[in-house]
Amino acid sequence: MCGIVGLFIKNKSMRDQLGALATPMFVCMGDRGPDSGGLAVFNEPTPESAQRWRINVFARNREYPWEPLIHGLRQTHPATDIVASSNHAILMTDQVPEIVARWLGEYDPMLIFLSTGRVMDLYKDTGHPRELAERYHFTDLRGTHCVGHTRMATESAVTPAHSHPFVAGNDFCLVHNGSLSNHNSLRRLLERRGIQFETDNDTEAVCRFLQWRMREGDTIEESLARGFEELDGFYTLLMGTPERLVLVRDAFACKPGIIADTPDYVAIGSEFRTLAHLPRIHEANLFEPVPEKIYSWTIA
Amino acid sequence: MSETFDLKTTTVRAINEHLHGLAPDATGVYEILNPNGSHNIAVGVDAPVEINIRGHAGYFTAGMNKQARVTVYGNVGWSVAENMMSGRVHVKGFASQCAGASGHGGLLVIDGDASSRCGISMKGIDIVVGGSIGHMSAFMAQAGRLVVLGDAGKGLGDSLYEAVIYVRGKIHGLGADARVEDLSEEDRTQIGELLEQAGLSARPAEFTRVASARTLYHWNPTSPQVSVL
């Protein structure tokens, strides 16, 4: 089944409430996806964020000892900061991510890189979304927009790596409700071009396909238009970039979605009940996204 | 008599259990507050009561309804009034997919739009939509009437049996075996009656009639037995 949630803050003074507003949306959709979940959060871009990289790291051990890691990392890369909770850490550094990744790989080969970018953070793991929201303190998160997913797996394994959001490149994430029947041929098409995969999951193929098209120069609209031709299956897709939140449903539109547009925010969910707690929701312009139309919101 | 249930303090299960306990000739008014998109509200009611849902409701609202008059003062999710047998369900806002799916009888009125697959496999229900309907509506619809004041999406009436569709606006595409037919005096009378029951106004002559071309199904008892592959 799976659940999708997205929140885009229009009113800048509400950006510190992003997590507080999005967490009940995410937890509610745990009904549609109780086996794993994830949330990508886009921090407000600043002059500082343009200079630093954010590397999100995941450890299998819930009580991971981050203190010795950061101590060691600072020996060679002094200008590195860390924000850690449980088995998740955000490293903020002036160094290019590849250099830090190499260091981390030598320090502990079991660490998993969730994402790299300038503004995006990514949390995901197996377990009920409620549990994840508490563990990672989602209510405290701030930012311009976020993309969340609660998974009820219908194909491929239930592991942290198979959880959504999927990422490709820097600061691009995608969540998916649905299933694809031609993801293996997409994967072969991309692998022939040297693109590497982390899982056998269908959504990862969509994510890497779209990011490949954008890297080749397509706009997100052009890459999605190409996706309409290439993707065989059912999908509601929600995507995040540093500037934009983008939503699309396939031609069949048999996976649900609802949009609430207000002067202060745009909220997206699989079902209305996930939006019901939002401020002034009853004054919102509520509508269902129509098939194959690209809905996009850009930060001011 | 009148009773009020608030979904902030009770559950859908408790409300439905109460409604299921009503005698088949019970009357009264039931107010349901703060639905907040909950699923399965007032499913399986079998009594001529009035039920008012004050807000947006979720999936399967008033499903399998018999006799009751249910009004939703908001939008509904998937499959409102699915498999309705009799009575009336009125949605003041819009309806998501599969509105009135498999309905056997009664009247479903949606003031706003209904999205895809409205009236899918309808079996005798009448549906009146004040706005437009989405793609693949009335797919395999067997009996009943679907009246649409706005437009109809692609694939309208695909594999239609004996249900009849009336569309006032643009039809974005007919499904297999659905065809436009001339609007008869009898059609205009029926449209007029349904509009009146729904409390909506439009000129019956403005509607287009869509019905089955009957090339996809055969129901002739005198024809020889044909083996099915």
Average pLDDT score over chain B: 95
Strand, helix or coil for residue B125: strand
Residues 228-267 of A with CB under 8 A from B: 253-254, 256, 258
pLDDT at A245: 98
B134 to A290: CB separation less than 8 angstroms, yes or no? yes
pLDDT at A300: 87
CA neighbor of A171 nearest in space, from A1, A47, A52: A52
A256 to B96: CB separation less than 8 angstroms, yes or no? yes
Domain end: A60, A91, A118, which one?
A118
Same domain? For A139 and A88 the reply is no
Number of domains in chain A: 2
Same domain? For A196 and A277 the reply is yes
Return the CATH number at A60. 3.30.70
pLDDT of B225 higher than 70:
no
Same domain? For A288 and A156 the reply is yes
B55 to A286: CB separation less than 8 angstroms, yes or no? no
Which residues fall within 8 angstroms of residue A86, CB to CB, at 6 or more apart?
Answer: A62, A63, A64, A135, A136
Same domain? For A41 and A57 the reply is no
Which of A253, A273, A291 comes nearest B37 by C-beta?
A273
Compute the distance between CA of residue B8 and CA of residue A3 in angstroms, rounded to an integer. 23
Strand, helix or coil for residue B133: strand
**A257: closest chain B residue by CA:** B96
pLDDT at A155: 84
**B94: closest chain A residue by CA:** A287
**B35: closest chain A residue by CA:** A273
The pair of three-digit structure tokens given for residue A34, joined into one six-digit string: 């109780």
What residues of chain B have any CB closer than 8 angstroms to a CB in chain A? Answer: 36-39, 55-56, 58-59, 75, 77-78, 93-94, 96-97, 115-116, 134-135
Residue ranges in chain A whose pLDDT is less than 50:
none
pLDDT at B224: 53
A53-90 tens-digit pLDDT = 999 999 999 999 999 999 999 999 998 999 999 999 99
Does A287 reach chain B within 8 Å, measured CB to CB? yes
CA neighbor of A167 nearest in space, from A242, A86, A94: A242
CATH superfamily of B2-212: Glutamate synthase, alpha subunit, C-terminal domain (2.160.20.60)
Same domain? For A102 and A18 the reply is no
Return the CATH number at A162. 3.60.20.10
pLDDT at B229: 46
The pair of three-digit structure tokens given for residue A202, joined into one six-digit string: 């269908």
Domain end: A93, A118, A143, which one?
A118
Same domain? For A16 and A86 the reply is no
B47-98 tens-digit pLDDT = 999 999 999 999 999 999 999 999 999 999 999 999 999 999 999 999 999 9
pLDDT at A5: 98
Q: How far is A20 from chain B (nearest CA, A)?
A: 19
B184-221 tens-digit pLDDT = 999 999 999 999 999 999 999 999 999 999 999 876 65
Catalytic site includes residue A146 = no
Residue A83 lies in domain: 46-118
pLDDT at B116: 97
DSSP 8-state assignment for residue B183: P
Q: How far is A271 from chain B (nearest CA, A)?
A: 7
pLDDT of B136 higher than 90:
yes
H or E segment and range at residue B145 = strand B143-148
pLDDT at A167: 97
Same domain? For A41 and A52 the reply is no
pLDDT of B227 higher than 60:
no
Domain end: A118, A133, A163, which one?
A118
Instruction: Tokens 């129901």: give the residue.
Output: B219
B116 to A291: CB separation less than 8 angstroms, yes or no? yes
A291 to B135: CB separation less than 8 angstroms, yes or no? yes
Same domain? For A138 and A254 the reply is yes
A273 to B38: CB separation less than 8 angstroms, yes or no? yes
Strands A36-42 and A145-151: antiparallel
Other C-beta atoms lying within 10 Å of the C-beta of residue A296: 16
Residue A232 sits at the vertex; the CA angle it makes with A155 and A169, to the nearest 5 degrees, is 75
Measured between beta carbons, the chain A residues lying within 8 angstroms of B93 are 286
B77 to A290: CB separation less than 8 angstroms, yes or no? no
pLDDT of B33 higher than 50:
yes
